[in-house]
Amino acid sequence: MAEGHSIEDIRKHVRVYMMVFGALAVLTVVTVGVSYLDLPFAPALTLALVIASVKAGLVALYFMHLVSEKKVIFWMLALTFAFFLALILLFIAAKNGHGGSVLVP
C-alpha cells in the first residue's frame, strides 16, 4: 500500500465519490423530470443550464480533483468563467439588437 493512505482514508474517499455519484444521478433524474414540464423556452433553457452547471461543477471538483488544488487554479477558473459570461452577454446583446449594451431595456 502507498505511504500515507490508510484504509480509513481510502474508505472516506470512496464514500465521497459515491455521494457525488448519487448527486449526479439525482440531478440527471431532475433534468429528465424538468424536460417534461411545460415551460417557456427561456426559463427551460435557464433551468437546464443551471442543472448542467451544478453537475459540471461536481465533476470538475471531485473527479478532476480540483477540490484540493491551490488557489491559483480557482482564480484561473474564475477568470475563465468571467470571460465566458462576458461573451454570452455580448451574444445576447447582439441578438437583441442593443448594439452591444446588455443593460438597455
Q: Tell me the three-class secondary structure of the chain, residue by residue.
A: CCCCCCHHHHHHHHHHHHHHHHHHHHHHHHHHHHHCCCCCHHHHHHHHHHHHHHHHHHHHHHHCCHHHCCHHHHHHHHHHHHHHHHHHHHHHHHHHCCCCCCCCC
Q: How confident is the model at residue 101 (pLDDT cuts 50, 70, 90)?
A: low
Q: Is the pLDDT of residue 100 over 80?
A: no
Residue 24: its pLDDT value, please? 96
* CA angle at 18 for the pair 45 and 11, rounded to the nearest 5°: 155
Domain segments of the chain as ranges: 1-68, 69-105
Q: Mean per-residue pLDDT for 63-87? A: 84
pLDDT of residue 102: 53
Give residue-wise pLDDT tens across range 15-66: 999 999 999 999 999 999 999 999 998 888 889 889 999 999 899 888 888 7
**What's the mean pLDDT in 64-74?**
78
pLDDT digits 0-9 by tens, 23-34: 999 999 999 999
